[in-house]
């Protein structure tokens, strides 16, 4: 008996070994190294000098970088808010459709979702470009006199962000609303609640986990999508992501990039913590 138990345990360890080794070597290790790196100095010519310093964190407090953090969070908040406004009703309505329509809508959402994010953004470049589609339509309708030059502006970046992140919110809200027991809504309607009141007292609280999961799924990536700001915003909008990239490639300053990443990571971890304490679950709705 004992031997068999030992054997079973050994096969379990053999199964787990690759994942444990990989996770320690390429997830836990690297993240710890990032925190270590953020307290080190940049070497004179190339690489890292292993001596302790707090300068990297002090540098983040400089107005220039504080402003970047503030602007990144502002853009992330604004995009997330708009994604909620557009995506929540979408996912909610979709869950109320017939099975056949659900399938069709799912396919319609999945096609852009599975196409490259870059290519989807590229379509907006055509739309927003000076004398692009939007300008031609607006000028054709005599709403505007000349080209609006919307490409490389803040609204273009916001549209790009919404576009890249909307599917996450829709799927999260949908999967939560799908599980909703609609007879509860009907019961509250039968008892005389207006449809508005029934929504806020019954449906909304029950789909809140999906909504919050959607917030996490849109807010966190929106901090890192530097290529959206890059392609649709030109050089005008600088986000934390762009600064990290610049410090790594042009600045060759790994420790400072590490400090920026560490701060960003702590802030996003706090967000997830908040999500967990509000919903009381580890699971992200709509993702897994």
Segment 226 to 255, residues that bind another protein, using CB under 8 A = 226-227, 230-231, 240-241, 244-245, 248, 254
Instruction: Give the contacts of 236 (CB within 8 A, at least 6 positions apart).
Output: 152, 153, 154
Q: Which residues within the stretch 53-82 sit at the binding site for another protein (CB under 8 A)? A: none
Q: Does 285 bind another protein (CB under 8 A)?
A: no
Q: Pick from 60, 148, 156, 258 the residue near another protein by CB under 8 A.
A: 258
Question: Which residues between 188 and 227 bind another protein (CB under 8 A)?
Answer: 189, 220-221, 223-227
CA dihedral over 227, 233, 235, 236, signed as positive or negative = negative
Residue 283 has phi, psi (to 5 degrees) of -80, 135
Residue 139 falls in which region: left (phi positive, over 0), alpha (psi -120 to 50) or beta = alpha
Q: Which is nearer to another protein, 112 or 154 (CB)?
A: 112
Which of 74, 136, 144, 194: binder of another protein (CB under 8 A)?
136
* Among the residue ranges 60-68, 123-131, 138-146, 205-213, the one whose residues contact another protein (CB under 8 A): 123-131
| 85 is a site residue for another protein (CB under 8 A) | no
- Least distance to another protein, CB of residue 29, Å: 7
Q: Does 117 bind another protein (CB under 8 A)?
A: yes
**H/E run at residue 49:** strand 48-49
**Among 62, 67, 89, 194, contact with another protein (rule: CB under 8 A):** 89
Task: State how far the Cα of 258 lies from the Cα of 256, in Å rounded to an integer.
Answer: 5
Q: Which of 2, 3, 114, 196 binds another protein (CB under 8 A)?
A: 114
119 touches another protein (CB under 8 A): yes
Per the DSSP assignment, residues forming a β-bridge with 41 are: 49
Straight-line distance from the first to the last Cα atom of the chain, in angstroms, rounded to the nearest whole number: 38
In angstroms, give the least distance from the CB of 15 to another protein. Answer: 3
* Residue 63 Cβ vs another protein, minimum distance, rounded to whole Å: 22
Please give the residues from 265 up to 284 whose contact with another protein meets the rule CB under 8 A. Answer: 265, 268-269, 272
How many helices (H) and strands (E) are present in the chain, helices listed first?
Answer: 14, 2
Distance of CA 64 to the CA centre of its chain: 24
Residue 132 lies near another protein (rule: CB under 8 A): yes
Q: 49 forms bridges with which residues in the sheet?
A: 41
The DSSP bridge pattern shows strands 41-42 and 48-49 to be antiparallel
Decide: helix, strand or coil at residue 39: coil
| Interaction pattern, residues 94-113, with another protein; x per rule: CB under 8 A | x-xx-------x-xxxxxx-
**Least separation in angstroms between CB 278 and another protein:** 17
Burial of 226 (0-12, 13-18, 19+ CB in 10 A): buried
Alpha-carbon span 24 to 117, nearest angstrom = 30
């Amino acid at each position: 008996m004992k031997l068999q138990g030992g054997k079973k345990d050994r096969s379990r360890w053999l199964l787990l070994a690759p994942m444990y080794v990989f996770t320690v070597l390429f997830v836990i290790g690297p993240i710890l190294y990032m925190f270590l790196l953020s307290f080190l100095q940049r070497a004179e010519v190339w690489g890292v000098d292993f001596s302790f310093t707090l300068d990297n964190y002090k540098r983040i407090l400089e107005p220039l970088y504080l402003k970047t953090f503030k602007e990144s969070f502002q853009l992330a908040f604004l995009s997330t808010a708009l994604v909620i406004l557009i995506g929540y009703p979408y996912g909610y309505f979709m869950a109320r459709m017939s099975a056949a329509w659900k399938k069709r809508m799912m396919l319609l959402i999945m096609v852009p979702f599975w196409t490259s994010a870059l290519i989807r953004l590229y379509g907006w470049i055509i739309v927003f470009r000076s004398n692009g589609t939007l300008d031609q339509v607006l000028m054709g309708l005599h709403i505007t006199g000349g080209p609006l030059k919307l490409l490389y502006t803040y609204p273009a970046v916001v549209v790009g962000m919404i576009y890249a992140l909307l599917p996450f919110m829709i799927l999260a809200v949908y999967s939560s609303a799908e599980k909703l027991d609609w007879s509860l809504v009907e019961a509250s309607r039968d008892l005389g609640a207006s449809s508005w009141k029934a929504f806020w007292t019954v449906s909304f609280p029950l789909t809140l986990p999906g909504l919050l999961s959607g917030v996490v799924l849109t807010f966190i990536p929106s901090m890192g999508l530097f290529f959206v700001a890059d392609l649709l915003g030109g050089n005008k909008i600088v986000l934390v992501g762009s600064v990290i990239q610049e410090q790594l490639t042009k600045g060759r300053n790994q420790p400072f990039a590490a400090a920026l990443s560490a701060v960003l990571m702590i802030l996003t971890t706090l967000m997830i913590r908040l999500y967990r304490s509000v919903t009381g679950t580890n699971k992200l709705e709509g993702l897994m």
